[in-house]
Amino acid sequence: MAYGCTITVAAGKIPSSQSNFVWLATEDNFPTAAIDGGATSILNGGGNLRCYTDSTKATRLPIEVVTFVTGGTPSAQVWGLSPTINVGSTVYIEADTVATTQPAVNDTYGRNAVWVDYEFVTHDFVIDSTGNTTLSSSGTLQSSLTPPPFKGDSTDFGSTSDAFYVEAVIANLTTYDVTAWCRPDALGFNGGDIAIIQDATSDSVQSSLLLDSSPDNFGMYNSPNAWLRSGVPSSSLLSSWNMLSGNNNGSNRAIYQNGAQIAASSSSVEAVRTLLRVGGRKPSNTTWLYSGKIAELNIKKVRNTADYKESEYNNQSAPSAFWATSAWEDQGGGGFQAAWAKNANKLLNWYN
């Protein structure tokens, strides 16, 4: 029998129904028997992990398995896409009895399909999970031992004097939402670029999510719209994890901290810019180097609503509180019931 469980969105975690919602599940959302490496456990590596909207399995969901380690000290980071989600919505998780590997990344239910509404997504600053582009860097990536709230790994972008950055060529976007989980360690001469989308050779045309040090403020800068400052001191973000976001659709723009909108203004369509840089800008401008950790970075091709941003933060900041998890049991209603029925059939066959 195939074993599975249902995770359900807990009360108060989504303010309104959301469409095409990308969710996160970690080891905290899996029953012990699903990740202990035992007889009914999902395979190490998550090859036979499958997800559906509910236990009828009528609608399968695309997923990306970033990490799935069973037995010993389990760890899991699984992202999925639900067509609609609200309080009480479910995801049925199953250990498939036939499959042993995840679908190809370009499969209907593979990695890329999770991020269909995104231009760029990275968990490790090595791979773009959308499949849209490739990444390059100025030096060797340094993994950090400082995990974000949802556990997993983060990347250390060094100090304010270390010109380390990651870059990729992306499509020109007139509407976007940039989100990053950040833990800055220090502010440089001007502050630090978390992410900047700029002209290929110059930072005179840019869309940036950044920490400014003069004045001491977190915000975003868009050409030709100039600054949108949050009123939140950049220095107050040091040594703590925050989900920071900025978005624009050519008419309105806003910035968010931990799922809450903290500033907004009208805007206009931005100039063409296609070079994404994380940790510093081009040309080599040592006064805007980001110092600290980044765990996730994504660029969505739509401008998220305030309710979506709140739901997104609630899910990623505390997956264990976002989902309620049912027991791990077989489709027949549980391991005990299946064993009882099997033994009963043996007795009937013996008498016959």
Query: Which tens digits make up the pLDDT trace of 221-235?
Result: 988 778 999 999 999
Q: Could you tell me the domains of the chain?
A: 3-114+308-341 (no CATH), 118-301 (2.60.120.200)
Residue 338: the pLDDT is 38
Q: Is 299 helix (H, G, I), strand (E, B) or coil?
A: strand
* Cα angle 163, 164, 168; round to 5: 125
Model confidence at 149, in pLDDT bands (50, 70, 90)? Answer: very high
Question: 91 vs 53, 55, 108, 130, CA distance in Å?
Answer: 5, 8, 18, 22
Among 79, 85, 88, residue whose Cα is nearest residue 49: 79
Alpha carbons within 13 A on the beta-carbon side of 89 = 21
What tokens appear for 235 in the block? 């220095």
The one-letter code for the residue type at 241 is W
Q: What is the pLDDT of residue 222?
A: 87
Question: Counting beta carbons within 10 angstroms of the beta carbon of residue 109, is it exposed (0 to 12), middle (13 to 18) or buried (19 or more)?
Answer: middle
Q: Which amino acid is at 118?
A: Y
In the predicted model, what is the mean pLDDT of residues 15-37? 98
Which residues fall within 8 angstroms of residue 350, CB to CB, at 6 or more apart?
A: none
| C-alpha 166, offset from chain centre | 18
Coil, helix or strand at residue 275: strand
| Residue predicted with more confidence, 36 or 269 | 36
Contact call for residues 140 and 245 (beta carbons, < 8 A): no
Counting Cα atoms < 13 Å in the Cβ hemisphere of 138 gives 17
For position 161, what pLDDT does the model report?
Answer: 62
Hey, how many other C-beta atoms are within 10 angstroms of the C-beta on 124?
Answer: 16
> According to the model, what pLDDT value does residue 336 have?
36
